[in-house]
């Protein structure tokens, strides 16, 4: 029995030695061919008086087979998802030119102002507020205009207002990119509001990060569009 054990160890070691000689560098993981060679050697050197010793190896083989199948399925799904993304992007890019000249609304806090034309802003309150203000900020965060919200404009639901492009001193702001934020409270609790910007699509730009619509002189991601306004 001891002799059999020694022979098993020796034979298995020879297999590993043969595997090392066949490649230019040692592998961190066994491939299918190497695994099958080890399995064959295990079956040859298995002690016939103790067949149960091979059960663990057979279990490892089953796990290896299952893992390989799951890996192949995962790669197949990844390829399908990537193909669907490419197809969706192609369809979107093909249909995007139809939006030129259309009025659209996007969910965003980004506001592009061309320095002359008023911009329609919308916001959605999930619940009624007791007080609130809509702020226009520079991209650095400085507040240049505060528009108090009163009466019906504090009720829950969608509201719209026209931003005339002026700052708190009544001066016209320059052409630039700004941010909008609704600061509202219900008693002492803050009310988180979603903000929207409306405008007319004047052009398209296809970029690596996606299709961009030119709205109010600035770029607006097509993915941010929530409504096409008649």
Q: Are residues 28 and 136 in the same domain?
A: no
Which of 40, 58, 91 represents a domain boundary (last residue)? 91
Q: Are residues 106 and 83 in the same domain?
A: no
Q: What is the overall mean pLDDT for the chain? A: 78
Sheet strands (E) in the chain: 103-107, 110-113, 119-125, 131-138, 143-149, 157-163, 176-186, 189-191, 194-207, 210-215, 218-221, 225-229
Summarize pLDDT for 56-107 with one digit per residue, the tens. 655 655 666 666 677 777 777 776 676 555 545 555 555 677 888 889 999 9
Which of 34, 63, 91 represents a domain boundary (last residue)? 91
Residue 184 structural domain: 100-229
Q: Are residues 32 and 53 in the same domain?
A: yes
Q: Are residues 108 and 177 in the same domain?
A: yes
Summarize pLDDT for 154-185 with one digit per residue, the tens. 999 999 999 999 999 999 999 999 999 999 99
Q: Are residues 42 and 156 in the same domain?
A: no
Q: Are 122 and 149 in contact (CB under 8 A)?
A: no
Task: Write the DSSP assignment of 69-85 as a string of letters.
Answer: HHHHHHHHHHHHHHHHH
Arithmetic mean of pLDDT, 26-53: 62
Q: Are residues 197 and 119 in the same domain?
A: yes
Residue 108 maps to which CATH number? 2.60.40.4070
Q: Are residues 123 and 166 in the same domain?
A: yes
Task: Please name the residues in contact with 69: beta carbons below 8 A apart, sequence gap of 6 or more.
Answer: none
Could you give the number of structural domains in the chain?
2
Q: Are residues 65 and 109 in the same domain?
A: no
Q: Are residues 130 and 71 in the same domain?
A: no
């Amino acid at each position: 029995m001891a002799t059999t054990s020694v022979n098993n160890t020796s034979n298995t070691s020879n297999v590993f030695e043969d595997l090392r000689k066949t490649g230019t560098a040692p592998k961190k993981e066994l491939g299918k061919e190497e695994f099958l060679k080890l399995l064959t050697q295990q079956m040859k050197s298995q002690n016939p008086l103790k067949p149960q010793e091979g059960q663990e190896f057979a279990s490892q083989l089953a796990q290896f087979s299952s893992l390989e199948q799951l890996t192949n399925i995962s790669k197949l799904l990844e390829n399908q998802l990537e193909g669907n993304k490419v197809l969706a992007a192609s369809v979107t890019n093909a249909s995007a030119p139809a939006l030129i000249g259309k009025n659209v609304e996007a969910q965003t806090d980004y506001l592009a102002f061309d320095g002359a034309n008023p911009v329609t802003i919308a916001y959605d309150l999930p619940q009624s507020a007791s007080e609130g203000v809509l702020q226009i900020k520079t991209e650095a965060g400085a507040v240049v205009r505060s528009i108090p919200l009163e009466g019906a404009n504090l009720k829950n639901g969608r509201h719209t207002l026209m931003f005339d492009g002026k700052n708190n001193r009544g001066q016209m702001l320059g052409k630039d990119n700004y941010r909008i934020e609704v600061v509202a409270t219900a008693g002492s609790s803050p009310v988180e509001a979603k903000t929207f910007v409306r405008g007319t699509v004047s052009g398209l730009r296809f970029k690596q990060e996606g299709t961009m619509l030119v709205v109010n002189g600035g770029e607006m991601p097509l993915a941010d569009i929530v409504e096409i306004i008649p």
